[in-house]
């Protein structure tokens, strides 16, 4: 059995395949996931699991050098944005439009769907290196 905290085998597999600059997204339950992207559906009921909990666990496994966040997140859901900043620490944040974020989902190795219902609770994580 794994010693690391992440138990979801699909998410763990995608993370283990990621190389430098590969991307994975975590989104709310309403984020449209392109057919081209692998869907990892964790949503159980409204709010479970949360976006922040899913982000925290993913960051335990994945080295991230940059995140892409929709500008709308900061404007519409400022409390969520503040939580994101606390969780990611000093990782570079690049702001893009929500429309561009949705287009960039096609470039992601996978999109993780949570039960989150906070508007614009979506992020793209760009993989870094540990050396």
120 annotated ligand-binding residue: yes
Active site residue: 4, 13, 20, 44, which one?
Answer: 20
46 annotated ligand-binding residue: no
28 annotated ligand-binding residue: yes
10 annotated ligand-binding residue: no
Structure tokens at 105: 């989902």
Q: What is the DSSP string of 50-114?
A: -HHHHHHHHHHH--EEEEEEEHHHHHH-HHHHHHHHHHHTT-EEEEE-HHHHHHHGGGSSEEEE-
41 annotated ligand-binding residue: no
Is 71 considered catalytic here?
Answer: no
Residues making up the annotated binding site for substrate are 28, 98, 120-122
- Catalytic site positions: 20
List the binding residues.
Answer: 28, 98, 120-122
């Amino acid at each position: 059995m794994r010693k690391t905290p992440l138990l979801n085998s699909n998410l763990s597999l995608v993370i283990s395949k990621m190389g430098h600059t590969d991307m994975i997204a975590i989104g709310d339950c309403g984020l449209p996931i392109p057919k081209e992207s692998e869907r990892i559906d964790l949503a159980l009921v409204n709010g479970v699991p949360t976006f922040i909990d899913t982000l925290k666990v993913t960051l335990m496994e994945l080295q991230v050098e940059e995140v892409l966040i929709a500008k709308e997140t900061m404007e519409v859901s400022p409390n969520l944005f503040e939580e994101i900043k606390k969780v990611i620490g000093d990782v570079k944040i690049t702001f893009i439009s929500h429309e561009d974020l949705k287009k960039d989902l096609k470039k992601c190795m996978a999109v993780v769907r949570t039960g989150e219902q906070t508007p614009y609770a979506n992020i793209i994580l760009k993989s870094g290196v540990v050396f």
